[in-house]
Amino acid sequence: MPDTAQDGSDYVLPPPATGTVDAEGRCEHCGHAQPRERDHMEESSEGVAAISDRGLRHHRNEDSFALSSVPLPDGSPAVIAVVCDGVSSATRPDEASAAAAESACASLRRSLPRGADPRQAVHDALVAAAEAVNALAPEPRDPVENAPACTIVGAVVAAGLLTVGWIGDSRAYWVPDDRSATPARLTEDDSWAAQMVAAGLMEEAEAYADARAHAITGWLGADAYEIDPHTASFTPDRPGVVVVCTDGLWNYAESAGEMAAAVPADARTHPMRSARHLVGHALDGGGHDNVTVAVLPFSAPPGS
């Protein structure tokens, strides 16, 4: 029986190489593409878990993520998750997403323990990520090729406060443990569809059904029009989880209600198992894109 993905979906791994593997990652004898280190990545840190998977259709994984937990000045923890989606039409999108995720997370690891305001810290982390991706572009720039580029979304849970920041169309969702309460999408896409809806030119369903719907209007990269980091803070009054993900997941659970329905009821106590379930949800839906998701448990402060 062939190996399958850890979530149990029908993600059949290619057979092992029977000859030398070439520079493109294919066996020179049988021609099958061989698994790369980034095809499937799992990581957990204190209070957070994340998975990134190549999906079923793409030849490589161009998503990336970074996790961390650092102490605030009062000794309480700040939990960090950053998720990035490489822009496939750009050059070296996999390098762009990795550079952005690591740079943003490193910026937050430096600033939060010094007592920085979380929204300012997240804003500065997005700027640091943009600078890291810009640095990948060659000088002089090739006018024919698109510079390395990616989208980014990050979340910080600290001292009863939930802070998110983003550029592009990767998203964050709030899913309360009490499913009778209302879940919420915490981010607004930098995309053609979102612009049409915001301008009142189209209804949401119509806009997202258009072939241009997912054309992004904001991203990290040397050829971005302008870096416009978005940040927001929330104080949930009940326990739940924050789901931070690329469109490889939310394409299969787009609304807040659909995402809440896909998130297991015990996600807050089992974030890694929940992340695996969500990746499986995307793969079962078709796995047309790379899939990356981080699950951050949130416990409401006493007295909420």
58, 290 contact by CB (below 8 A): yes
What are residue 243's DSSP bridge partners? Answer: 173, 295
Could you tell me if residue 29 is inside a domain? Answer: yes
Average pLDDT, integer, range 74-90: 96
Q: What is the pLDDT of residue 32?
A: 53
Could you tell me if residue 183 is inside a domain? Answer: yes
Residues 178, 91 share a domain: yes
Q: How far is CA 113 from CA 68, 75, 107, 108, in A?
A: 12, 9, 11, 8
What are residue 231's DSSP bridge partners? Answer: 165
How far apart are the C-alpha atoms of 222 and 229, rounded to whole Å? 15
Whether 304 shows a pLDDT value over 80: the answer reads: no
Could you tell me if residue 301 is inside a domain? Answer: no
pLDDT tens-digit series, residues 177-215:
999 999 999 999 999 999 999 999 999 889 988 999 889
Query: Can you say whether the dihedral through the CA atoms of 50, 75, 230, 130 is positive or negative?
Result: negative
Helix (H, G, I), strand (E, B) or coil at 216: strand
Residue type at 147 in one-letter notation: A
* Helices vs strands, H then E, count in the chain: 7, 12
Neighbours of 199 (CB within 10 A): 9
Residues 65, 13 share a domain: no
Average pLDDT, integer, range 93-114: 98
Average pLDDT, integer, range 119-143: 92
Average pLDDT, integer, range 87-109: 97
Residues 76, 25 share a domain: no
pTM to 2 decimals?
0.87
How far apart are the C-alpha atoms of 295 and 249, rounded to whole Å? 13
Number of structural domains the chain divides into:
2
Could you tell me if residue 42 is inside a domain? Answer: no
Name the average pLDDT for the chain.
89
Q: What is the pLDDT of residue 5?
A: 39
Could you tell me if residue 259 is inside a domain? Answer: no
What the block records as the tokens of 166 is: 């983003």
Whether 12 shows a pLDDT value over 60: the answer reads: no
The least confident of 6-10, 149-153, 200-204, 266-270 is: 6-10
Could you tell me if residue 138 is inside a domain? Answer: yes
Give the domain CATH number at 183.
3.60.40.10
Range of the domain at 15: 1-35
pLDDT tens-digit series, residues 27-66:
566 665 556 889 999 999 889 999 999 999 999 999 999 9
Residues 80, 29 share a domain: no
Model confidence at 145, in pLDDT bands (50, 70, 90)?
confident
Query: Can you say whether the dihedral through the CA atoms of 193, 164, 276, 236 is positive or negative?
Result: negative
Q: What is the pLDDT of residue 226?
A: 84
